[in-house]
């Protein structure tokens, strides 16, 4: 089973993402900050994909994506944000994909399945 780490500071969104991805058959863990995500990854590097919210307190999602890309180049990274303007930020290029948050999670789930080779 493929493993996903969700990095999202908004609790309700984090819980929704967990539920949606678990229903799609993935094992899911989550972190409420970039700092917490780094701690989790230092202990457990078995995650196949990491979704990262861009706007968070402390270390931003863009900074976290760059750090993960340097330390774990094989990890798939999806930036997940409510703002479209970050798509053109050069820092966002550290990610494999960029998804604008929506009440419909089908785009995200389809993209995750594609990145992980789990096309259904």
Per-residue pLDDT in tens (0 to 9) along the chain, 120 residues? 999 999 999 999 999 999 999 999 999 999 999 999 999 999 999 999 999 999 999 999 999 999 999 999 999 999 988 765 555 555 555 688 888 888 889 999 999 999 999 654
Can you list the domains of the chain with their CATH numbers?
3-115 (3.40.50.2300)
Q: What is the model's pTM?
A: 0.90
| pLDDT value of residue 75 | 94
b/e burial code for range 77-99 (CB count within 10 A of at least 16 → b): bbbbbeeeebeeeeebebbbbbb
The two tokens of residue 50 are: 């990491």
pLDDT of 76: 96
Partners of 4 in beta bridges: 28, 49
What local confidence, expressed as pLDDT, does residue 31 receive? 98
With tokens 């493993």, the residue in question is 3
pLDDT score recorded for residue 110: 92
Q: What are the DSSP E strand ranges found in the chain?
A: 3-7, 27-31, 49-53, 76-81, 97-100
């Amino acid at each position: 089973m493929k493993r996903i780490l969700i990095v999202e500071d908004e609790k309700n969104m984090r819980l929704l993402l967990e539920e949606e991805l678990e229903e799609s058959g993935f094992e899911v863990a989550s972190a409420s900050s970039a700092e917490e995500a780094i701690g989790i990854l230092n202990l457990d590097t078995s995650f196949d994909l990491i979704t990262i919210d861009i706007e968070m307190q402390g270390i931003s999602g863009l900074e976290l994506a760059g750090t993960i890309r340097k330390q774990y180049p094989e990890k798939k990274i999806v930036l997940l944000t409510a703002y479209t303007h970050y798509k053109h930020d050069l820092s966002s290029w550290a990610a494999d994909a960029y998804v604008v948050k929506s009440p419909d999670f089908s785009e995200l789930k389809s993209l995750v399945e594609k990145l992980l080779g789990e096309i259904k």
